[in-house]
């Protein structure tokens, strides 16, 4: 087959034709259990009947008007996001990266209002925030950045999980305006900071008048057992970025803000042609309603606890195991070697999973997986790890 696609993805040798719940079928009719949900996107599973119904109904009614007129579904989505975050205002875009761009632009506006020439944002080592030039520059991966220099300036990098390093910058740097952090680092291999870390960042930001920006693009929307992972620590953000599961696969991203950050923009300062269209927003409203009515927070929490317990009991003493980490259904199993080959081995065993940082098996299954599916994932992963020599 000729391939005219740019060479950006090392795709698995499979193409899926249809899905239902946590199951996917390839072109030959083989069935796979999806343990990664399209990278944390299809939280409600594939072809969710209500999501499909709403998408079709809205597509037959009105897909797009641009933001040339009010968009009531966008207003409803903003109301829903404000309700689950306790924040104030929302900008709706089309992806996680765009949600990050919006957050960074808000930080810069506020910095300039304070008279800073080069407003700085503190970012973390091994973070991931997206592939646009600003999001890539904020990202803590030299590998992802290499070859794209000059990067966007204005980022100060510190180790993830080290509130002391942030405090140190507070003592020396006077043009910092925000701290950007994933409450749980996803691409870095499901890295969960010590309890109290996010609250310590909140305290530093309060003391310095900095914005605290949580990138919840991967960790948000019930994935960890709360609407947003920072809510485990009972703290408020100034800005939250959200995307991935928001419309269960229909592209959307949003930046939610409160206080000064919520009022940073005025007309013409930011925008998007597609962002916030009726189709994406109505779908997202439906997704949030389903997440709430099916109480996916407690489902994710309980399923995740059972899976971690099962992995620990089967792999706990495995000589190659470094660590089993997770919160809700954001799970990582770190081994002490490159296990990229496990992706294809898992596929051959009917499970779709992902490897990050070469040595971490990352699992982000749909939040609706049942106990049988949960056991299939655990058993398949354990058998593959046990077979490593
Ligand atoms: C934490 C985090 N931020 C930002 C992004 C970028 O989102 P998108 O790929 O939707 O642009 C991702 C994507 O994986 C992510 O995990």
pLDDT tens-digit map of 288-309: 999 999 999 999 999 999 999 9
Could you tell me where the beta strands, DSSP code E, fall in the chain? 16-20, 23-26, 31-34, 89-93, 120-124, 155-158, 176-181, 211-215, 239-242, 253-257, 321-327, 330-335, 351-352, 354-356, 360-363
Return the residue whose CA atom lies nearest to atom 16 of ligand 1. 218
Residue among 113, 118, 137, 117 at smallest CA distance from 127? 137
End-to-end distance of the chain based on CA atoms, in angstroms? 36
* Residues contacting 10, CB < 8 A, separation 6+: none
**Mean pLDDT in residue range 271-288:** 98
**8 Å CB contact between 96 and 221:** no
Cβ(275) to ligand 1 under 6 A?
A: no
Q: Provide the β-strand partners of residue 257.
A: 89, 239
Could you tell me where the beta strands, DSSP code E, fall in 291-374? 321-327, 330-335, 351-352, 354-356, 360-363
Cα angle value 182/143/104 (rounded, 5°):
40
Most informative mutation of 215, 218, 247 for ligand 1 (most atoms within 8 A of CB): 218
Cα of 218 from ligand 1 centre, angstroms: 7
Angle between helices 278-293 and 72-85 (to 10 degrees): 40
pLDDT category, 1, cuts 50, 70, 90? low
**Mean pLDDT in residue range 367-371:** 98
155 is catalytic: no
215 is catalytic: yes
Give the C-alpha separation, 84 to 302, whole Å.
21
pLDDT tens-digit map of 14-61: 999 999 999 999 999 999 999 999 999 999 999 999 999 999 999 999
89-93 and 321-327 as β-strands: parallel, antiparallel, unpaired? Answer: unpaired
Q: Which atom of ligand 1 is nearest to the CA of 251?
A: 10
Check whether the bond before 205 is cis (ω within 30° of 0).
no
pLDDT tens-digit map of 92-117: 999 999 999 999 999 999 999 999 99
> Would you state the torsion angle of the CA atoms of residues 96, 97, 99, 105, taken in this order, to the nearest 10 degrees?
170
**Mean pLDDT in residue range 206-224:** 98
Cα of 233 from ligand 1 centre, angstroms: 22
Cα of 243 from ligand 1 centre, angstroms: 8
DSSP-derived secondary structure letter, 224: T
pLDDT tens-digit map of 311-337: 999 999 999 999 999 999 999 999 999
* Residues contacting 54, CB < 8 A, separation 6+: 282, 283, 286
């Amino acid at each position: 087959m000729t391939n005219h696609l740019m060479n950006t993805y090392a795709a698995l040798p499979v193409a899926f034709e249809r899905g239902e719940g946590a199951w996917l079928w390839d072109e030959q009719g083989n069935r796979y259990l999806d343990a990664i949900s399209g990278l944390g996107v299809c939280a409600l599973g594939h072809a969710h009947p209500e999501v499909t119904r709403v998408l079709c109904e809205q597509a037959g009614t009105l897909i797009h008007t641009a933001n040339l007129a009010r968009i009531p579904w966008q207003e409803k989505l903003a109301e829903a996001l404000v309700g689950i975050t306790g924040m104030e205002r929302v900008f709706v875009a089309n992806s996680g990266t765009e949600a990050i761009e919006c957050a960074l632009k808000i930080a810069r506006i506020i910095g300039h209002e304070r008279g800073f020439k080069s407003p700085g944002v503190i970012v973390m080592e091994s973070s991931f925030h997206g592939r646009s030039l600003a999001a890539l520059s904020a990202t803590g991966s030299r590998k992802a950045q290499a070859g794209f220099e000059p990067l966007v300036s204005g980022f100060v990098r510190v180790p993830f999980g080290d509130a002391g390093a942030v405090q140190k910058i507070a003592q020396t740097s006077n043009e910092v305006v925000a701290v950007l952090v994933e409450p749980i680092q996803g691409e870095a291999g499901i890295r969960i900071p010590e309890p109290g870390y996010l609250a310590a960042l909140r305290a530093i930001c309060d003391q310095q008048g900095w914005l605290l920006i949580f990138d919840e693009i991967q960790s948000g929307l019930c994935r960890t057992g709360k609407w947003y992972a920072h809510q485990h620590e009972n703290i408020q953000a100034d800005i939250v970025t959200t995307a991935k599961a928001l419309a269960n696969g229909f592209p959307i991203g949003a930046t939610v803000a409160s206080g000064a950050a919520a009022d940073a923009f005025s007309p013409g300062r930011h925008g998007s042609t597609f962002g916030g269209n009726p189709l994406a927003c109505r779908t997202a409203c439906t997704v949030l309603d389903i997440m709430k009515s099916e109480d996916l927070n407690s489902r994710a929490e309980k399923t995740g606890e059972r899976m971690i317990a099962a992995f620990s009991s089967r792999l706990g003493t495995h000589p190659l195991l470094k660590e089993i980490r997770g919160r809700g259904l954001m799970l990582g199993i770190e081994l002490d070697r490159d296990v990229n080959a496990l992706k294809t081995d898992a596929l051959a065993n009917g499970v779709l999973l992902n490897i990050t940082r070469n040595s971490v098996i990352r699992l982000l299954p749909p939040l609706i997986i049942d106990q049988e599916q949960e056991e299939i994932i655990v058993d398949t992963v354990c058998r593959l790890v046990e077979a490593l020599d």
